[in-house]
């Protein structure tokens, strides 16, 4: 695989370069207004009011992901939309209260982007040796959270100046996490939501997994494979990527829910914008660099959905407010009926969607993943 040329998004020409520039600038502007200076934290989301946007809630997870994206943009030469030092200091001071393995992984990921200035192994108090048993999401082997943790371990090991002993711990934990994650992958190539052997929720619904349960493992396994030299990691990522791409909607939709066992879509809506322009590009670009395989067709098809090639023929970007609206969705009742029907009757076909609407919200993690994917798409 090492002799293959990585996929270069900008090689797609003017359209590719325009997409990059427009999305990065929009994301930087949007994150500026979603940051609460007095709390050194990003909001949970922002929603459209009568005359303006209104932020609601605070979110540590959103803050971590937004700052991962901003740091990627800063490294690429963009001016950060916020003052980073106070936000980093606030995160470091509260790191002992991290209560999910997913957020530990995101913290490691962010830390990996700062050489010696933020080093959780040395200064934060994170006890990595027990994280796989300490947190509920780890004990239930939840796929998304394990993927975040594996990505964080991989990024930290690949970028840090850790001692030999610390690197050995990172490699041991990464291998153990990799095996747990692979344990959630079915023969279809798709990942379960969690282990089927842990917890009531795991037994009842582990096979019904979201797009997030597919796309984050693709990224994490690609990075794990590169950093630790484990070729089976990228092969696992390719298996999932190929299945997800085969299931992509006719307008480029990355559908919402999958039956991991049967390898099929069981719930189409909502179609989330972050999947189209942030998470899918982030993961597929990483997998392209790891494998040499191009995913430009599905990538640009997904991006075109944002720009108006969608069910409502609506451009989901609001450049005046520097946001991208969150999703196109059905009513909850229609969604539940469709998911139940498609799950119980595998040969059934999805009915044409009716009464689709746009959710006029935007969340900071969405714009953070755009920055991570596109601020420097070759790295």
The tens place of each residue's pLDDT in the chain, 379 residues long, gives: 333 344 444 455 555 667 788 899 999 999 999 999 999 999 999 999 888 899 999 999 999 999 999 999 999 999 999 999 999 989 988 888 888 999 999 999 999 898 765 554 445 567 788 899 999 999 999 999 999 999 999 999 988 677 787 888 899 999 999 999 999 999 999 999 998 765 555 565 789 999 999 999 999 999 999 999 999 999 999 999 999 999 999 999 999 999 999 999 999 999 999 999 999 999 999 999 999 999 989 998 999 999 999 999 999 999 999 999 999 999 877 877 887 877 776 766 776 777 899 999 999 999 999 999 999 877 7
> Exposed/middle/buried for 169, CB within 10 Å: 0-12, 13-18, 19+?
middle
Q: Rounded to an integer, what is the distance from CA 29 to the centroid of its chain?
A: 20
DSSP category for residue 275: I
Domain positions in the chain: 9-374
Q: Give the architecture (CATH level 2) of 9-374.
A: Alpha/alpha barrel (1.50)
Residue where the block lists tokens 């914008």:
273
The C-alpha atoms of residue 7 and residue 367 are separated, in whole angstroms, by 23
List phi, psi (to 5°) of 170.
Answer: -60, -45
Residue where the block lists tokens 């964080």:
152
pTM for this prediction: 0.92
Do the Cβ atoms of 349 and 43 come closer than 8 Å? no
User: Max Cα separation, the chain?
Assistant: 58
């Amino acid at each position: 695989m090492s002799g293959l040329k990585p996929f270069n998004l900008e090689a797609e020409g003017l359209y590719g370069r325009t997409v990059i520039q427009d999305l990065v600038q929009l994301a930087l502007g949007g994150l500026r207004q979603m940051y609460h200076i007095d709390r050194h934290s990003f909001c949970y989301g922002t929603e459209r009011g009568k005359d303006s946007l209104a932020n609601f809630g605070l979110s540590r997870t959103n803050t971590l992901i937004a700052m991962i994206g901003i740091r990627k943009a800063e490294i690429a030469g963009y001016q950060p939309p916020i003052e980073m030092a106070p936000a980093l200091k606030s995160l470091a001071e509260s790191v002992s209260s991290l209560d999910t393995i997913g957020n530990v992984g995101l913290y490691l990921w962010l830390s990996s982007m700062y050489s010696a200035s933020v080093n959780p192994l040395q200064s934060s108090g994170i006890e990595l040796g027990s994280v796989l048993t300490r947190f509920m999401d780890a004990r239930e082997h939840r796929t998304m959270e394990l993927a975040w943790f594996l990505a964080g371990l991989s990024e930290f090991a690949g970028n840090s100046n850790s001692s030999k002993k610390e690197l050995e711990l990172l490699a041991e934990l990464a291998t153990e996490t990799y095996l747990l994650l692979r344990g959630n992958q079915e023969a279809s190539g798709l990942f379960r939501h969690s282990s089927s052997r842990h917890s009531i929720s795991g037994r009842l619904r582990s096979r019904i997994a979201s797009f997030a349960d597919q796309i984050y493992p693709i990224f994490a396994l690609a990075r794990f494979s590169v950093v630790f030299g484990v070729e089976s990691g990228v092969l696992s990522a390719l298996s999932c990527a190929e299945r997800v791409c085969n299931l992509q909607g006719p307008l480029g939709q990355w559908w919402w829910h999958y039956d991991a066992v049967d390898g099929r879509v069981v719930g189409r809506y909502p179609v989330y914008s972050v999947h189209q322009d942030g998470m899918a590009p982030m993961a597929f670009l990483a997998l392209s660099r790891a494998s040499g395989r191009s995913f430009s067709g599905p990538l640009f098809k997904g991006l075109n959905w944002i720009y108006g090639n969608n069910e409502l023929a609506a451009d989901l970007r609001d450049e005046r407010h520097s946001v991208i609206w969150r999703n196109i969705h059905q009513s909850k009742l229609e969604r539940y009926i469709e998911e139940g029907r498609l799950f119980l009757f595998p040969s059934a076909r999805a009915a044409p969607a009716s009464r689709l609407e746009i959710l006029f919200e935007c969340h900071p993690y969405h714009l953070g993943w755009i920055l991570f994917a596109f601020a420097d798409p070759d790295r």
